[in-house]
Structure 1
Amino acid sequence: MTEKPLTLPQYPFPVRPFAEPPEAYAELRAKCPVTLVQLPSGDTAHMVTGYDEVIAAMADRRLSRAALREPGAVRTVKGEDFSDNPYNLLNQEGEDHHRLRRLIAPAFTPRKAEKWRARVEEIAHELIDRLEAGPRPADLHHDFAAVLPVWVISEMVGAPVEDRERLQEWTDRLVSITAHTPEERLAARSESAEYVAGLIARRREAPSDDLLSALIAARDDNDRLDERELVWLGINLLVAGHDTTVSAIVRALYQLLRHPDQWKLLTENPDLVPGATEELLRYAPPSEIGFMRIATEDVELAGTTVRAGEGVIPVMHAAGRDTRHVSRPEELDITRDDAVHAAFGHGTHYCPGVGVARMELQVAFGVLAQRLPTLRLAVPAEDVEWLGGLLTLRPKALPVEW
């Protein structure tokens, strides 16, 4: 068992220049892939940085998200946050979790994702048309990366795309760690629930060919979920269905433009898009922060005994730089064939929307490379500012020219 150091690292680590993972991750992976850290709440947890260890932690059902709601459980922050909501799909385990995932799974299969590809390409082209008609430098984050995923999930679920700014503002508060207060997080929970309840009421009166209408039918006709579950499935889809994809797109585009040789390679070789997508998910996944679990019994993890009741945080960003699996992990190489990553999670909480998310990323990179091959950063890469304190990582703006 590892010994508790006298001074614990403070988690989460500060955002580094270029949005690179903390330097400490490499040392920890090599020497101590499971180490104690201190959380903003003052509690401690075991941070996991090695790829094998991250996968093992995510797969171990003795490490529970639902246990975060137990009295006295380890907390990431003081006050309520998204882990306190029993209706959030990410916080559920067992049969209820499986039942709700089964309801939404048919909408996100790889086959369904491919049916959406043509529409997503249309949206991407329209957004680029707007970029070309607008001022320069353009903000590739605000006017492309932050719009494409929310437009797509809004059409899939059945929400007005014009509400994207409200959805993003609620999302920022819902997934906040230190960027917002507990009161702001709770207000976002209430406001977003009221919004989705309104969408449900309108869809009951006028059903459509969208996912929310299908879920309403499952509620009203088959009694397969209750009203609160219906509302929160809607919120889960709208929030989780776009936030991580926004971050994945903008982080990847930043890294591609920061490495112009890789961007040029992609513009000249469209067939590289699928492999480049996996490499970018490895090199710059949407979040540097992992979702904490609580051990429901003693668990052995990489030689460390995690006691029942202790917290475990598998860090996805750290896992993708593991030298045991990836050669030259600090190098972005869109031609590599060993781009292993944990960007979509693993185990029972593996992202149910992975097929659609992966397709959106491929479309975003492919269409931009086709339409704007001379795309480049309009400011030095080190001047791009990154927003910390959230579960996902993204810049304040991404100014570009072409």
Structure 2
Amino acid sequence: MSSSAQDPTAFPFPPGPLGEPPTELSGLRSACPVSRVTLPSGDEAWVVSGYDEVVTALTDRRLSRAALRAPGAPRMVKGPDFGDNPYSIFNLDGADHARLRRLIAGAFAPRRAEELRARVQEITDELIDRVATLPQPVDIYHEFCTVLPIWVVCEIVGAPLADRDRIKTWTETLMSVGPNEQRLATREAMTAYVRELVAARRAEPRDDLLSALVQARDADDRLSEAELTWLGAELLLAGHDTTVNTIGRGIFQLLRHRDQWELLTARPDELTEPAVEEVFRYAPPSDVGLLRVALEDVELAGTSIGKGEGVIPLMHASSRDERQFAQPERFDITRADNRHLVFGYGPHHCPGAGVARMELQVAFGTLARRLPGLRLAVDPAEVRWIGGHITLRTEGLLVTF
């Protein structure tokens, strides 16, 4: 690898204090926005932390997800992993990636998100009705944040709501970046579950996304059976986990910054949407990023990246770049022109962005209107954050109201 850096830093970095991004990132971003790190597998890669540099990396077609399957490619963890899967939408580039995105685009389009808003409002009100009856303090992370997104994605995809605890447990294992034996066993369990759902939708189609994908497989021949199974599994997994943890981190930051919470409760109609965007920027769900492989020698921000080397664009790190955001360390729900990169950029931009935005708008707006006295029941420094996952999660969030 071509770099003057010595002894690459271990990656992923541990979470920062108070659920903030890792402290290492500010130094890297200002001094070396393309930096060499060592992954849990022992392989080395480059992490990209500056805003402009992340945009460049996300749009450079020479940085490939599909190349993760090439012999000798860098790996996040040792042994078999998600990067080996040739059917995953996350591991495809070009025409195959675009084909799978088109099949799911309608279910997550902004128009569809607005059609779902009334139902999400019903679910949110039902959950808050229940929270309001519980003895205080209430763990709002487990009673609300973890429940709302999985309920919504189960209805969109077509999984029984009764299975949400299983899906949640599988997701927490699959989103870890530690030893992969348990993750591989969980992967097999989840794909077997999706195969059962597919068989049920073939026998009895419904008005849900999985039924539409079965139709695309069986009638239109636009999906292989393996692609259908994996797409169903990944929609259930990725369709809720990042939203769970963004809602949790968002509530924590809103309550920690009391003046911002009081602004939101005083002006929810005006400030809910910008508050959601500021939560995405300031407290994004992930501190990791997806590994890519250079298909040829690439120059990025003056750094030479060799063919076959790994590159990880860090969207969350770009959100604190002072070249893009005024006072980036300040949590400000009135912030305008908030062009964060939490949903990615370019071909792999998150197709579920519209639904995620809508869910957070409903969640924060309803909490602000119905529980304006919401406050943390513990000192913010006592809230514990769990690293070692693709998404950053808390062990729990005790509140009173």
TM range (shorter): over 0.9
Secondary structure of 1:153 counterpart: helix
Q: After the TM superposition, which residues 133-148 of structure 1 pair with which residues of structure 2 at under 5 Å, given as runs?
A: 133-148=133-148
Q: How far apart, CA to CA, are the structure 1 residues paired with 2:25 and 2:366?
A: 34
What code does the residue aligned with 1:34 have? V
Q: How far apart, CA to CA, are the structure 2 residues paired with 1:373 and 1:311?
A: 46
Structure 1 residue 300 corresponds to structure 2 residue 323? no
Secondary structure of 1:129 counterpart: helix
Match of 1:44 in 2: 44
Q: How far apart, CA to CA, are the structure 2 residues paired with 1:173 and 1:295?
A: 29
Q: How far apart, CA to CA, are the structure 2 residues paired with 1:208 and 1:156?
A: 11
Q: Any conservation in 1 of the 2:2–2:305 contact (CA below 8 Å)? A: no
What's the TM-score, normalizing by structure 1?
0.97
Q: Any conservation in 1 of the 2:376–2:398 contact (CA below 8 Å)? A: yes
Match of 1:153 in 2: 153
Q: After the TM superposition, which residues 241-252 of structure 1 pair with which residues of structure 2 at under 5 Å, given as runs?
A: 241-252=239-250
Q: How far apart, CA to CA, are the structure 2 residues paired with 1:359 and 1:37?
A: 36
Match of 2:382 in 1: 383
Q: CA deviation at 1:4?
A: 3.1
Q: CA deviation at 1:281?
A: 0.5
Q: How far apart, CA to CA, are the structure 1 residues paired with 2:222 and 2:88?
A: 16
Deviations 1:121-157 (A, max 9, x none): 1100000011011222111111111111100010011
Q: After the TM superposition, which residues 111-260 of structure 1 pair with which residues of structure 2 at under 5 Å, given as runs?
A: 111-178=111-178, 181-260=179-258
Match of 2:309 in 1: 310
Secondary structure of 2:153 counterpart: helix
Q: How far apart, CA to CA, are the structure 1 residues paired with 2:170 and 2:228?
A: 18
Secondary structure of 2:399 counterpart: strand
Larger displacement relative to structure 2 (7-16 or 377-386):
7-16
Q: CA deviation at 1:117?
A: 0.3
What code does the residue aligned with 1:352 have? P
Q: CA deviation at 1:282?
A: 0.5
Structure 1 residue 394 corresponds to structure 2 residue 400? no
Q: How far apart, CA to CA, are the structure 2 residues paired with 1:149 and 1:141?
A: 12
Q: Any conservation in 2 of the 1:326–1:338 contact (CA below 8 Å)? A: no
Q: How far apart, CA to CA, are the structure 1 residues paired with 2:385 and 2:248?
A: 11
Structure 1 residue 75 corresponds to structure 2 residue 75? yes
- Flag structure 1 segments of 5+ consecutive residues without an equivalent: none
Q: CA deviation at 1:262?
A: 0.6
Larger displacement relative to structure 2 (78-87 or 258-267):
78-87
Match of 2:273 in 1: 274
Q: Any conservation in 2 of the 1:81–1:174 contact (CA below 8 Å)? A: no
Match of 2:333 in 1: 334
- Flag structure 2 segments of 5+ consecutive residues without an equivalent: none
> Measured at CA, do residues 329 and 134 of structure 1 come closer, stay the same or move farther in structure 2, by a change above 3 Å?
same
Q: How far apart, CA to CA, are the structure 2 residues paired with 1:94 and 1:5?
A: 33
Q: CA deviation at 1:3?
A: 3.0
Q: How far apart, CA to CA, are the structure 1 residues paired with 2:291 and 2:218?
A: 34
Q: Any conservation in 2 of the 1:82–1:174 contact (CA below 8 Å)? A: no
What code does the residue aligned with 1:193 have? T
Match of 1:261 in 2: 259
Match of 2:22 in 1: 22
Q: Any conservation in 1 of the 2:253–2:283 contact (CA below 8 Å)? A: yes
> Measured at CA, do residues 373 and 2 of structure 1 come closer, stay the same or move farther in structure 2, by a change above 3 Å?
farther
What code does the residue aligned with 1:192 have? M
Secondary structure of 1:321 counterpart: coil
Q: CA deviation at 1:2?
A: 6.8
What code does the residue aligned with 1:266 have? L
Q: After the TM superposition, which residues 90-129 of structure 1 pair with which residues of structure 2 at under 5 Å, given as runs?
A: 90-129=90-129
Structure 1 residue 54 corresponds to structure 2 residue 58? no
Identical columns (%) = 58
Q: CA deviation at 1:347?
A: 1.2
Deviations 1:70-111 (A, max 9, x none): 111101111222222222111111211111111000111111
Q: Any conservation in 1 of the 2:66–2:93 contact (CA below 8 Å)? A: yes
Q: CA deviation at 1:236?
A: 1.2
Q: How far apart, CA to CA, are the structure 2 residues paired with 1:383 and 1:289?
A: 23
Q: How far apart, CA to CA, are the structure 2 residues paired with 1:356 and 1:134?
A: 29
- Runs of 4+ more than 4 Å apart: none
